[in-house]
Amino acid sequence: MTRRIGILIALVSLVAATASAQDVRSVLQASAKAMGLANLKTIQYSGSGWFSMIGQTYGLNEDWPHYEVNPYTRTIDYDAKFSREEYTRRQGSYPALGRVPMPEQHIVNFLNRNFAWNVEGDKVVPQTRPYLDGIAVADLRQLEIMITPHGFLRAALAASDATAISLPIVGAADYGLSQNGRRVTIVSFTALGGKYKINGTINDQNLVELVDTWFPNPIYGDMNYEMRYTQYEDFGGVKFPTLVHVHQGDPILNPAHNYYEIKVNDVQANVKVPVEAVPDAARTATAPPLTVETQRLGDGVWVLGAANYNSLAMEF
């Protein structure tokens, strides 16, 4: 009897999931209408908040060390696949935790299709080293466009493998996300040639409230990158969250994995975006070769060193 019930539940779940997958486009179109996607080509949002130093905490239950970010502005041209992220960072009132307090620095990050670079003062700095020695920075910044609220909808509508499943949220949630029985639809698809999977949660008001993806990392294996979007407001017909809260890490290995939070105070839709041409220094830059050095520590024990990460190999 138990087996029959289990099979029945599995069949019902499969039918429900399939029905939702067939209806994925109407789900996305309803969300696009609610959020003002129809004629949105560019967007610029600004605010202030904090960022974190990933991996620099003392323990798994502690949060990544924070630092102040003010002001913050991100500008995106969706069709051009261009992004400019500009902010000023400083230690602020956050504890230094034994480190030298962060001095004030002005940061400008660029993406133009498959090229990523930063500008420090008047110097172009190509981003050839993978982010946290895992994912190419250009891939990461392309994903960051696709996991913004409207970027997610655009990418999902363009994807050939998008699926959807609708379900109620059981129990409480934080940051104003859907909870206690409210129904959501989770849309999934792959991006950048199938290398990455993106999941987006659309709530019962047709607003994108959570988007996440995963990318390779030498410590975690797969590192979660989760965007939480709440406190939506209408900005000239375009709905955008005024609270952007981001997680990066692994919710099981380190529950406190808050990456950054921006309180948005200004959003401009279809703002004119001067798309920066790719500098020659960024276009011609090549990634340094990755070398692994091995050292025998004893019988059947070796250390493998590469970049900032070391591994042990043991023979049994």
Nearest alpha-carbon partner for 184 in 200, 158, 204, 161 = 204
In tens, the pLDDT along 225-275 reads: 999 999 999 999 999 999 999 999 887 777 768 999 999 999 999 999 999
For position 208, what pLDDT does the model report? 98
Q: Across all residues in the chain, what is the average pLDDT? A: 89
For position 173, what pLDDT does the model report? 78
Measure the N-to-C terminal CA separation of the chain; round to a whole number of Å.
46
Nearest 10 degrees: Cα torsion 112, 243, 26, 7: 110
Predicted confidence band of residue 15 (pLDDT cuts 50, 70, 90): very low
For position 157, what pLDDT does the model report? 97
Position of tokens 């034994």? 98
Q: Look up residue 47 and give its amino acid.
A: G
pTM of the model: 0.87
107 or 315: which carries more pLDDT confidence? 107
In tens, the pLDDT along 33-66 reads: 999 999 999 999 999 999 999 878 777 777 889 9
> How many Cβ atoms are within 10 Å of 20's Cβ, its own excluded?
18
For position 201, what pLDDT does the model report? 97
> How many Cβ atoms are within 10 Å of 167's Cβ, its own excluded?
13
Report the pLDDT averaged over residues 1-9. Answer: 34
CA distance 253 to 60: 7
The SS3 assignment for 65 reads coil
Please give the helix or strand (H or E) that residue 283 lies within, else none. Answer: helix 280-283
Please say whether the beta carbons of 97 and 65 come within 8 A. yes
For the chain, percent of residues with pLDDT exceeding 90: 67
Q: Which residues pair with 201 in a beta bridge?
A: 186, 210
In tens, the pLDDT along 67-99 reads: 999 999 999 999 999 999 999 999 999 998 888
In tens, the pLDDT along 186-228 reads: 999 999 999 999 999 999 999 999 999 999 988 888 999 999 9
> In the predicted model, is pLDDT for residue 9 greater than 50?
no
For position 275, what pLDDT does the model report? 95
Please give the helix or strand (H or E) that residue 8 lies within, else none. Answer: helix 2-22
137 or 316: which carries more pLDDT confidence? 137
The HSE-up count of residue 304 (CA atoms within 13 Å, CB side) is 9
Query: The sheet that has 301-306: what strands, in order across it?
Result: 293-298, 301-306, 309-314
CA–CA–CA angle 173, 149, 160 (5° rounding): 110
Predicted confidence band of residue 108 (pLDDT cuts 50, 70, 90): very high
> In the predicted model, is pLDDT for residue 19 greater than 50?
no
Please say whether the beta carbons of 85 and 74 come within 8 A. yes
Please say whether the beta carbons of 196 and 213 come within 8 A. yes
